[in-house]
Structure 1
């Protein structure tokens, strides 16, 4: 997910995306432990997407405090 796309979404949408990304990450961890995970590179993509969403949410929270 690109940062420009993330910035266009509302805070509520970002929270929903964050929940879904975290669920997907947990599922990947379980698949890896069971030996069923074929796409290890997906871990990095999900972690980076989670970080991007959290960054945008934090920026918005800071903007609300300063406004």
Structure 2
């Protein structure tokens, strides 16, 4: 259910907003990887979640480009 709501939110955003969110997600992934490398990360499952969210955002961006 959470994923469906997240996808609806992504579909309602403009391409510029999606690009901003993609940039933020990539920065978060970098920070999580850095924390993991220095053994400061408690929830390693968050890395997987952020990677999947990046893929979802990129998929929506590609779909919007195909529509136009």
- Shared fold per TM-score greater than 0.5: yes
Cα distance in 2 for partners of 1:8, 1:18 equals 15
Once the two structures are superposed, residues 45-67 of structure 1 have per-residue CA deviations (whole angstroms, 9 ceiling, x without a partner) of 10111011000000011111xxx
Q: Deviations over 1:6-57 (max 9, x none)?
A: 1011111100000000000000001000000011110111011101100000
Structure 1: runs of 5 or more not aligned: none
Q: Does 1:39 align with 2:43?
A: yes
Q: TM-score, normalization: structure 2?
A: 0.89
Q: Normalising to structure 1: TM-score of the pair?
A: 0.90
Q: How many residues align?
A: 64
Q: Gapped runs of 5+ residues in structure 2? A: none
